[in-house]
Structure 1
């Protein structure tokens, strides 16, 4: 049975990341179990506030894992020399970019789902005192737009990381410094633009810009040898 090239790429990237995802999910379950036990034995508002801070910090730390993966995914391809095989395949470069992008996004979404589930259980253990749930249950156009903004912000960050890595590899011996400087510069321009034009269109535009830059660098500047 023939498998679509993109599906094959995606399943390969997902399989390569499988162990890391399993370890991350196991770590989240263990930490959530510990926090749930703490929540179950706490009823004071001040203590519950501290527990909520722990949850937020823990969530940020866990999201840092797919963020780092968006840098390391392509560097690993070069390190293992598999990039040359990928670039020699008769498939669009967009397949290569979108496959890794979706795996990284899926990992972030899994972390988010586990985090939300853990918070929901903690809310029950605290008898509804951990945080206000009413605003979260209310769905309107503004909240949908906010979620779309978050999605485009995450996508833009992933493609900015791709672009930075490609610029670094293109520069040769100065790979890491160039990747770091290009990431900081791209992020700075993005933040300034969004500070002056805080809209969905700004986020979408920069996401497309970073995707286009990463596509160009991968298609035109990465050599097959």
Structure 2
């Protein structure tokens, strides 16, 4: 019964983001089409498609802004629409609310990243293999598994750091935006310090666990339904 409730929460979160995800994915495909035209007309002898790769990097950074900004607004929208009161009164553990939003944001990031990678692969084929080196991506190595794990943990940590900042800011009343910004900056600084002093995988995992537990504490003890 509890797992069914969690699944419904997760499906609802994804459904609420469906239009934004579709629009963002469509925009990515449109921009990739423009870059494909540039790739087709570029001279590989001139700069080796370096300018094309700069455009792709800029596009990827822009793509990641969509779930990043949503990680701040996901909870704020609940308060703005006053849906938070019904949400917190649901007969489910509040950790389910935290996990459903976190996982939906992570899935949104993965979906948009896959669309971006698909576009890169089409560009690679069109350039005759000159755009980038595909061999490191198509061969298996455990180091790549660790890299993917680290990237996923980093993405989840940013999501929970944003949630923590928003929850702290919500308690600050008229100073909400200032406290949100300062708490995000302070949390990011402490996470960087911890990461610098711990082994990579252990440090990232520890940061994620601490952020998740602190968010759970805030949601359980510091957020009411008055």
TM-score (norm 2): 0.95
SS of the residue corresponding to residue 171 of structure 2 reads helix
Alpha-carbon distance in structure 1 between the residues aligned to 2:109 and 2:161: 16
Matches of 2:175 and 2:32 in 1, distance apart? 41
The Cα shift of 1:182 comes to 0.4
Q: Is the 8 A contact 1:43 1:126 kept in 2?
A: no
Q: Output the aligned Cα RMSD.
A: 1.4
Give how far 1:47 is off: 5.5
Which runs of structure 2 are paired with 1:144-163 in the superposition (5 Å)? 144-163=145-164
Q: Which whole-Å CA distance do the structure 2 matches of 1:47 and 1:137 have between them?
A: 22
Shift of 1:198: 4.1
The answer to whether the Cα contact below 8 Å between 1:73 and 1:100 also exists between their aligned partners in 2 is yes
C-alpha displacement of 1:195:
2.0
Per-residue deviation, 1:173 = 2.0
| Ranges in structure 1 where 5+ consecutive residues have no aligned partner | none
Distance 2:67 2:176 in 1: 21
Partners of 1:47 and 1:219 lie apart in 2 by 55
Gaps of 5+ in 2: none
Structure 1 moving runs of 4+ over 3 Å: none
Encode CA deviations 1:10-44: one digit per residue, 9 max, x unaligned: 12111111111111011011001111111112232
Q: Look up the SS of the partner of 2:49 in the other structure.
A: helix
* Equivalent residues, number: 224
Structure 1 residue 138, shift from structure 2 partner: 2.2
Name the CA distance, whole Å, in 1 between partners of 2:214 and 2:89.
20
Corresponding residue of 2:73? 72
CA distance in 2, matches of 1:3, 1:158: 22
TM-score by length of 1: 0.96
Q: Does 1:90 align with 2:91?
A: yes
2:176 pairs with 1:182: no
Q: Report deviation, 1:140.
A: 1.2
Q: CA shift at 1:118, angstroms? A: 0.6
Contact kept in structure 1, 2:194 and 2:207, CA below 8 Å: no
> Which residue of the partner structure matches residue 116 of structure 2?
115
Question: Do residues 12 (structure 1) and 15 (structure 2) align?
Answer: no
Checking the alignment, whether the CA contact within 8 Å between 2:48 and 2:130 is kept in structure 1 is no
